[in-house]
Amino acid sequence: MEYYNYIKALHLIFVITWFAGLFYIPRLFIYQIEAYHKDEPEKSILTNQFKLMSKRLWYIITWPSAVLASIFAFTLLFMIPEWLQQPWMHVKLGFVILLYAYHLKCHLIFKQLQNDVVKWSSNKMRIWNEGSTLILFSVIFLVIVRDAINWIYGVIGIFVLAIMLMLGIKLYKRIRSKNPEA
């Protein structure tokens, strides 16, 4: 237990860098998707640059952070096995599984875009980009308030957040249609 705080700190650091990668990679996807609609040579220059940026972000920051966050999480669970009997931990692990599903779907999109296969619109990608935000909010509130959480209010809060994010996306789309430079 003397190493608990160090392991916990490392877990949090890599969770933060993992989320940073998951927040930024869809933004790069959006820019790359939009670059496919440009004229040459701008199209080639931009898509090649976004491919390179995505590749570096994905393989140098995001994937290693996911793996290291998980290793330190398993270490914490090994150190404090009674957490596995706590209902809040079951829910948290469910969100972690959901986060890995989100991560793997981003990996599939990454691979497609690296091969010049565009199956998403930039607007749908903006909506997809909010998935990690909803997971982050859910996990943080769950871990901080644990058993004190009123599940009804928690669920309502997540839905309100999702609605606010969608309204923000629609507002941004409307502003952007009036001013393409926004």
- Distance CA(182)–CA(179), nearest Å, equals 6
- Distance CA(94)–CA(102), nearest Å, equals 12
Average pLDDT for residues 114-137, to the nearest whole number?
Answer: 91
pLDDT of residue 111: 98
- Distance CA(90)–CA(173), nearest Å, equals 38
- Mark the binding-site residues, compressed into ranges: 11, 92
Cis peptide before 41 (omega within 30 of 0): yes
Helices (H) and strands (E) in the chain, counts: 7, 0
Helix axes 151-178, 122-129, angle to 10 degrees: 150
- Distance CA(31)–CA(52), nearest Å, equals 13
- Distance CA(10)–CA(67), nearest Å, equals 12
Closest among 169, 161, 175, 164 to 26, alpha carbons compared: 169
Q: How confident is the model at residue 182 (pLDDT cuts 50, 70, 90)?
A: low
Q: What is the model's pTM?
A: 0.84
- Distance CA(90)–CA(98), nearest Å, equals 12
- Mark the binding-site residues for heme, compressed into ranges: 11, 92
Average pLDDT for residues 8-36, to the nearest whole number?
Answer: 97
Q: How confident is the model at residue 107 (pLDDT cuts 50, 70, 90)?
A: very high
Average pLDDT for residues 101-110, to the nearest whole number?
Answer: 98
Considering only the C-alpha atoms of the chain, give the largest distance between any 2 of them, rounded to a whole number of Å. 59
- Distance CA(22)–CA(12), nearest Å, equals 15
First to last CA, the chain: 51
